[in-house]
């Protein structure tokens, strides 16, 4: 009852869905060909395998170059990491207690402003130039003195970050000579202040023997 019989006149290939026309095969009926019914194309399996092997070989031969990850270099430590100590040193310099004889208020103010920056910033800091420009914006008197120094040094050149830092080092050393020389005098400042100033000088002026 439930079985469907195959009539004697029915094509058994069509009855079971094998509806490839007889002329879809060329030569011996074997697995050398596959038939794409929708497109009506014949694809040689051997050629298909060769294409796959060729694609795999090309993929293996491709050199994989990973995108390098950007790694930020660690910031070098500042010569003096204590803001309170730095402020105290700057104030001591401003008040004239660092053996700066015959100095004017302008000279002490400029030296104090230079110290406050150099104590808190390492010259190898990748953002040193940005920090310097911000510091100069906050101190118009220091900025004016530094601009005058740059105009005398490089009157017609718009300097970049690297040259600006080099000029700042020379400018700072010139303004802090008396303070650096006074490090060996115990009455100039406390031992903690002397250590901080020496560390600052070693970072910014390594060519100077302190």
> Alpha-carbon distance 125 to 45, whole Å?
65
Closest CA to 175 of 93, 95, 82: 93
pLDDT at residue number 35? 40
CA dihedral of residues 180, 181, 186, 188 (deg, nearest 10): -70
Helices 140-153 & 161-181, crossing angle to 10 degrees?
Answer: 110
pLDDT at residue number 196? 93
pLDDT digits (tens, 9 = 90+) for 24-70: 444 444 443 444 434 444 444 555 556 556 656 665 555 555 666 65
Three-state secondary-structure class, residue 42: strand
Which DSSP category does 201 fall into?
Answer: H
Residues of the chain predicted below pLDDT 70 = 1-73, 186-189, 210
pLDDT at residue number 188? 61
Closest CA to 79 of 49, 141, 121: 121
Give the other-Cβ count within 10 Å of 137's Cβ: 10
pLDDT at residue number 51? 56
pLDDT at residue number 69? 63
């Amino acid at each position: 009852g439930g079985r469907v019989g195959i009539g004697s006149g029915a094509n058994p290939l069509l009855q079971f869905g094998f509806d490839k026309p007889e002329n879809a095969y060329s030569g011996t009926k074997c697995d050398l060909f596959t038939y794409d019914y929708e497109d009506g194309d014949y694809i040689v399996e051997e050629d298909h395998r060769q294409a796959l092997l060729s694609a795999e070989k090309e993929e293996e031969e491709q050199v994989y170059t990973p995108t390098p990850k950007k790694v930020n270099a660690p910031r070098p430590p500042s010569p003096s990491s204590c803001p309170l100590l730095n402020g105290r040193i700057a104030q001591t310099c401003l008040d004239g207690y660092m053996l700066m004889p015959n100095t004017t208020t302008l000279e002490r103010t400029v030296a104090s402003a230079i110290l406050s920056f150099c104590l808190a910033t390492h010259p190898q800091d990748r953002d040193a130039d940005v920090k310097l420009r911000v510091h100069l914006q906050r101190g118009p008197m220091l900025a004016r003195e530094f601009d005058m120094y740059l105009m005398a040094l490089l009157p017609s050149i718009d300097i970049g970050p690297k040259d600006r830092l080099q000029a700042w080092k020379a400018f700072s050393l010139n303004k802090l000579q008396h303070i650096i020389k006074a490090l060996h005098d115990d009455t100039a400042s406390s031992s903690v202040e002397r250590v901080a100033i020496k560390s600052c000088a070693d970072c910014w002026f390594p060519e100077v023997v302190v």
